[in-house]
Chain A
Amino acid sequence: MAQDPTPLARPGSLTELFTAFTLLALQGFGGVLAVAQRVLVEERRWLTRDDFIEILAIGQVLPGPNVVNMSLMIGDRFFGWRGAAVALAGMMCVPTVLVLILAAIYMHYAADPAVAGALKGMGAVAAGMIVGTALKLAPVLRGNPMGRPASLAIAAIVFAGIALLRWPLLRVLLVVGVLACAFAWMRLRAQDAW
Chain B
Amino acid sequence: MDALACTGRVVGTAVGTISLVDWLQLCGHFLLLSFAAIGGAIVIAPEMHRLMVTQTGLLTDAQFSASIAIAQAAPGPNVLFVAVMGYQAAGLAGAAATLIGIMLPSSTLAFAASRWSSARQDWRAIRAFKAGMAPITIALLVATGWILAANTPGKAHLILTAATALLVWRTRVHLLILIAIGALVGALGWV
List A residues at the B interface (Cβ < 8 Å): 25-35, 38, 42, 53-54, 56-69, 72-73, 76-77, 81, 84, 88, 91-92, 94-96, 98-100, 102-104, 106-107, 110, 113-115, 117-138, 140-141, 144-146, 151-152, 154-159, 162-163, 169-170, 172-173, 176-177, 180-185, 187-189, 192
List B residues at the A interface (Cβ < 8 Å): 12, 14, 34-41, 43, 66-67, 69-80, 83-84, 87-88, 92, 95, 99, 102-103, 105-107, 109-111, 113-115, 117-118, 124-125, 127-150, 152, 157-158, 160-169, 172, 175-176, 178-179, 181-191
Known: A72-B107, A91-B77. A162 touches B134 (CB 8 A): no
Provide the bound-state CA to CA distance between A76 and B118, in Å: 10
Can you list 22 contacts pairing A with B, beta carbon distance less than 8 Å? A64-B34, A65-B106, A68-B79, A68-B103, A73-B110, A73-B114, A92-B77, A96-B99, A98-B76, A102-B74, A103-B87, A117-B186, A121-B184, A123-B157, A124-B161, A125-B179, A145-B131, A154-B136, A163-B147, A169-B38, A173-B136, A188-B128
Summed over the interface, the residue pairs from A and B with CB atoms below 8 Å come to a total of 383
Q: Interface on chain A toward B: helix, strand, loop, or mixed SS?
A: helix
> What 7 pairs between A and B have smallest CB-CB spacing?
A121-B186, A64-B106, A95-B76, A132-B168, A128-B164, A125-B182, A181-B132
Known: A92-B77, A158-B139, A185-B125. A63 touches B37 (CB 8 A): yes
CB neighbours (8 Å) of A140 from chain B are 134, 138
Could you tell me if B109 and A64 are in contact, using CB atoms closer than 8 angstroms?
Answer: yes
Which of B114, B141, B161 has its CB near the most chain A CB atoms (within 10 A)? B141
Could you tell me if A146 and B124 are in contact, using CB atoms closer than 8 angstroms?
Answer: no
Provide the bound-state CA to CA distance between A62 and B14, in Å: 33
User: Which of B69, B79, B95, B182 is close to A65, meaning CB atoms less than 8 Å apart?
Assistant: B79
User: Which of B102, B141, B152, B191 is close to A134, meaning CB atoms less than 8 Å apart?
Assistant: B141
Q: Interface on chain B toward A: helix, strand, loop, or mixed SS?
A: helix
Known: A34-B168, A57-B133, A158-B135. A121 touches B191 (CB 8 A): yes
Could you tell me if A100 and B87 are in contact, using CB atoms closer than 8 angstroms?
Answer: yes
Could you tell me if B125 and A154 are in contact, using CB atoms closer than 8 angstroms?
Answer: no
Determine how close the nearest CB of chain B comes to the CB of A128; give it in whole angstroms: 3
User: Which of B35, B38, B43, B165 is close to A128, meaning CB atoms less than 8 Å apart?
Assistant: B165
Which of B34, B38, B80, B136 has its CB near the most chain A CB atoms (within 10 A)? B136
User: Which of B124, B136, B161 is close to A57, meaning CB atoms less than 8 Å apart?
Assistant: B136
Could you tell me if B181 and A123 are in contact, using CB atoms closer than 8 angstroms?
Answer: no
Could you tell me if A63 and B148 are in contact, using CB atoms closer than 8 angstroms?
Answer: no
